[in-house]
Amino acid sequence: MSSRVRRPVLIAAAALIVWYVVVLLLWAVPPLSDSIPVGLDRSPTMLVPPGNAKQISQTVECNSLFSNSARDPGPLPTLPEQPTSFAPLEYPRPACTAVQRDARIVFGLNTVFVLIGLIGLAAVNRRYGHETAQETASHPVSALPA
């Protein structure tokens, strides 16, 4: 097998493996977070005109994508109070379920693409390594003039 073919393939395979480990350690293993829009802030402390209320979100800490449950049981963070003339802020959807589901999909796609890349590199290495071996066999060194 030619080192001209083998070395770039090994470098590319190593890069794919390093990419996968970095994604695993820096993104997949740590806990996720979910930013949920909870309504318009109409609190008296807002310094904006009443018609220009600001959309606010609440960040909720979630479990990692490898956990069985999206978040640990317990109450969600409390939301700021609104004036009585306005509807109170509320969570419009369950916290963390969509974030964990989407993270699992992205991690699964990343895994599939890394595996496809490694299989493709192995096929390239096998094909071009085999062709180089055949070329060497058809032109033995002893048959070359000195």
Averaged pLDDT for residues 63-70:
93
Decide if 146 is inside a domain. Answer: no
Q: What residue type is assigned to position 37 of the chain?
A: P
Decide if 142 is inside a domain. Answer: no
| Orientation angle between helical segments 97-138 and 3-23, nearest 10 degrees | 170
Decide if 92 is inside a domain. Answer: yes
Decide if 144 is inside a domain. Answer: no
Q: What whole-number percentage of the chain has pLDDT above 70?
A: 77
Decide if 35 is inside a domain. Answer: yes
How high is the pLDDT of residue 33?
A: 95
Above 90 in pLDDT, residue 98? yes
Using CA of residue 68, residue 74, residue 77, residue 78, what is the dihedral sign?
positive
- The DSSP secondary-structure symbol of 93 reads S
Above 90 in pLDDT, residue 36? yes
Decide if 59 is inside a domain. Answer: yes
How high is the pLDDT of residue 1?
A: 46
Decide if 50 is inside a domain. Answer: yes
Mean pLDDT, all residues of the chain: 83
Decide if 143 is inside a domain. Answer: no
**Residue-number span of the structural domain to which 82 is assigned:** 3-20+28-134
Question: How many folded domains does the chain comprise?
Answer: 1
**Distance between CA 42 and CA 84 in Å, rounded?**
10
Q: The tokens of 106 are what?
A: 């992205």
